[in-house]
Amino acid sequence: MELSLMELQNPWWHDKEAIARDGKVRRVLDSGEKLVMGLEDRNTVMIGPRQLGKTTALKYDIYRKIEKEGVNPKSILYYSFDTARDYSVISEVIESFLKATSGKRYLYLDEVSFVEGWQRPVKFFLDSSGSKDVRIYVTGSASINLRKELFPGRDIMIREFLSSLFSDFVLAFASEDLREFIRSNRSHDLATVIAHTRKAVLYFKELDRLFKIFIQTGGFPLPVLDHFATGSITESTFDTHWNAFLSDISKAERSVETSTAIIQELIKSYSSKINMSKLARNAGIPSHVTAREYMELLKELFIVEYIFPISDRGIPLFRKERKAYFTDPFLFNLFSRKLNLPTAGTEPKVVEGIVHSHLSRTLTGIGYVQKDKETDFVSKGLSLEVKWQENVTKLDIPKSDSTHNIVLSKATSGEGIIPVAVFLSLLDEKGRHDTIV
């Protein structure tokens, strides 16, 4: 591959100031550097949804190295493989750059996950002697063919790049007093979070205001920035995310019509149990097997997650009916809008989905219990019910032998009753890194 083809994506090779003019870098700088995710100084594969900021994270890291650390711009390569389909292109890019340069270098390989066999050139590079003085960052918008290949024995980490938690949102946009409180008190330990909610209720009014925004924007950068700039999410932002979804479905060589039919049925029955045969029938799909395959695709694309009922022994019952949730509330709003589905009365269901997305990044073995009365979420030591309504009483608290039996309310606070906004503002992610917002 000729270096001239790579120069188009690396204008800083000839103009050091070019990286500061990059649109994604400018967005970070104009936001007061709130939209920034720090990259560790180690080989990394980052996977996560499209339009979440992975490319922004790479470009800002390049900016930081050139402008703040004084790294030679010619020792940094960025290359997007968004339209590539053959892994030989990745090999050619890496080989051409390494042959033309020397010393400490940095490779930023963007959007590789739909390139069939992309792991091969990355593994070859990691096994070569030339990788010693090179740091490599790889991103992808799908976990397809990734979870099966974790580069065993090689010096590289796999990192999920997910939308911001509500606690990150608060740290970015709350008052300084509240930010300091969250910084000092958020935790991934459930007992600690519950204990700190007693103090956090003093900030309920501000947390409630921010959470109502979060229900609309979620943790995706573009809708968040739209809201704080204009008070609403622009149509161009919805279009950008919608087009990214269509692109990923096409790259996976699956039907857009079938994918959207599945999503439409998920929204119609949101937060309810799903019978795969009924889902397929309502979506006009011939087989429940096909419906299940498309559900897996949506999971691989970080669009939905699902949980199963838990037995009395704490074992997931995978043959039983599942419940599906979007990974971020903005996705519910996006697909509802683009598929022209009514959203009146759906807010309690959306909030339940937000609670699930936060619990799934903190706890393991999450499921639900269906007995005389369904419990929304259970995990080891926790039984949790979500009641997004004005009046909540002790009668709504789950009755189980769990260490923590709590109900998350809209505004009510008391023993075993915690406002959703308060609880989520203190919930941190296990093994987290700095996040995008």
pLDDT in tens, 286-323: 899 999 999 999 998 999 999 999 988 888 999 899 99
**pLDDT attached to residue 36:** 63
Single-letter code of the amino acid located at 390: E
**pLDDT attached to residue 313:** 81
pLDDT in tens, 364-395: 889 999 877 889 999 989 999 999 998 999 99
pLDDT in tens, 202-251: 999 999 999 999 999 999 989 998 998 899 999 999 999 999 999 889 98
pLDDT in tens, 5-45: 789 999 999 999 999 999 989 888 877 766 566 788 889 98
**pLDDT attached to residue 53:** 82
pTM listed for this prediction: 0.88
Would you report the helix, strand and coil content of the chain in percent, each value rounded to 5? 45, 15, 40
pLDDT in tens, 130-158: 788 899 999 987 765 555 456 766 788 88
- What is the rounded CA–CA span in Å between residue 164 and residue 224? 10
Q: How many CA atoms lie within 13 A of 101 on its CB side?
A: 23
The CA-based diameter of the chain, rounded to the nearest angstrom, is 70
- Contact present, 247 and 51 (Cβ < 8 Å): no
Q: How many CB atoms lie within 10 A of CB 76?
A: 22
The distance from CA 30 to its chain's CA centroid, rounded to whole angstroms, is 23
Question: 46 by DSSP, 3-state: which?
Answer: strand
pLDDT in tens, 386-423: 999 989 999 999 999 899 999 999 999 999 999 999 99
> Under CATH, domain 3-160 is a member of which superfamily?
P-loop containing nucleotide triphosphate hydrolases (3.40.50.300)
pLDDT band for position 1 (50/70/90)? low
Which helix (H) or strand (E) segment holds residue 407: the answer is strand 404-409
Q: Where are the domains of the chain?
A: 3-160, 167-425
pLDDT in tens, 263-294: 999 999 999 999 999 999 999 998 999 999 99
Taking only Cα atoms into account, the Rg of the chain, rounded to an integer number of angstroms, comes to 23
User: Among residues 179, 144, 138, which one has the least CA distance to residue 161?
Assistant: 138
**pLDDT attached to residue 378:** 94
Question: 383 by DSSP, 3-state: which?
Answer: strand
- What is the rounded CA–CA span in Å between residue 417 and residue 392? 8
When pLDDT is averaged across residues 326-355 and rounded to a whole number, the result is: 97
Single-letter code of the amino acid located at 248: D
Average pLDDT, the chain: 90
Q: Where are the beta strands (DSSP E) in 342-381?
A: 367-369, 375-379
**pLDDT attached to residue 105:** 94
pLDDT band for position 431 (50/70/90)? low
Residue with tokens 């609880």: 423
- What is the rounded CA–CA span in Å between residue 297 and residue 156? 25
**pLDDT attached to residue 225:** 87
**pLDDT attached to residue 436:** 36
State phi, psi for 337 to the nearest 5 degrees: -70, -50
pLDDT band for position 118 (50/70/90)? confident
- What is the rounded CA–CA span in Å between residue 437 and residue 419? 23
* Helix locations, 53-163, DSSP H: 54-63, 87-100, 119-127
Is the per-residue pLDDT at 435 higher than 50?
no
Contacts 24+ apart (CB under 8 A), 71-75: 71/104, 71/106, 72/103, 73/12, 73/13, 73/16, 73/19, 74/13, 74/101, 75/101, 75/103, 75/104, 75/105, 75/106
pLDDT in tens, 49-91: 888 888 889 999 999 999 999 999 999 999 999 888 888 999 9
